[in-house]
Amino acid sequence: MYQGVVIERLSNRAFVMQNLIKSGNQSRLIFEGPTRGLLGYRGQFVIDTKGEGILCSRVLGFRPFAGEIRKRVVGSMVSMASGKALGFSLWNLQDRGILYIGPGTEVYEGMVIGNTSKGEEMVVNPTKGKQLTNVRSSGADEALDLIPYHALTIENGLEIMANDELLEVTPTTVRLRKQYLKEGERVKNKK
């Protein structure tokens, strides 16, 4: 049922299909590929199969290098300020891509707080609060409806990080950050 999307995703990760066995409305797909190609894929597999698929893996031994694995085609949302991320700011940013942090998270300049659907880096301010005025009106302060954020795991972070990003792992958090924290340094070193 979901075999097309699974075949496409694994093919992009340097896997080669060895066998396809159909049994009623179920399919068993057998692939061979590098272990590094599975990094970050389990979560994507659950999404692709809507929780109905079963993924098993085993090591067959050492093989020659299978080639580069295609990297992500999305850009990064990079914080331009340090402080606590505010719900109002994240509410405005959630339409631009997927967020990795929630309100109240401590952020710093150069920290990757999400990804964008466009393939380029976007510098954003997650600490920006709502402009307060003395004028009050009924219904002006609506409840913010935030989409749940995707908390990073080590496996997911390794999969989505770009060449100019680093993965920070502490006992309490997993964060992505740019190699050069200041925007000016990133632009200068990109050339």
31-36: Cβ within 8 A, 24+ apart = 32/60, 33/66, 34/63, 34/66, 34/69, 35/59, 36/69
Regarding pTM above 0.75, the answer is: no
Crossing angle of helices 3-12 and 41-48, in 10° steps, is 160
The structure tokens listed for 50 are 């809507």
List CB contacts of 116: < 8 A, sequence separation 6 or more: 74, 75, 76, 77, 96, 97, 122
pLDDT along the chain (191 residues), means of 10: 87 90 90 86 83 90 83 82 92 90 93 86 89 62 77 85 90 92 85 67
Size of the chain in residues: 191
The CATH superfamily assigned to 75-129+144-190 is bipa protein (2.40.50.250)
Rounded to whole angstroms, the Cα distance separating 177 from 86 reads 19
The structure tokens listed for 95 are 């339409």
Question: What is the residue extent of each domain of the chain?
Answer: 3-48, 75-129+144-190
Q: What pLDDT sits at residue 84?
A: 94
Q: What pLDDT sits at residue 163?
A: 84
Rounded to whole angstroms, the Cα distance separating 123 from 101 reads 15
The structure tokens listed for 182 are 């200041």
Q: What pLDDT sits at residue 139?
A: 55
Rounded to whole angstroms, the Cα distance separating 54 from 45 reads 9
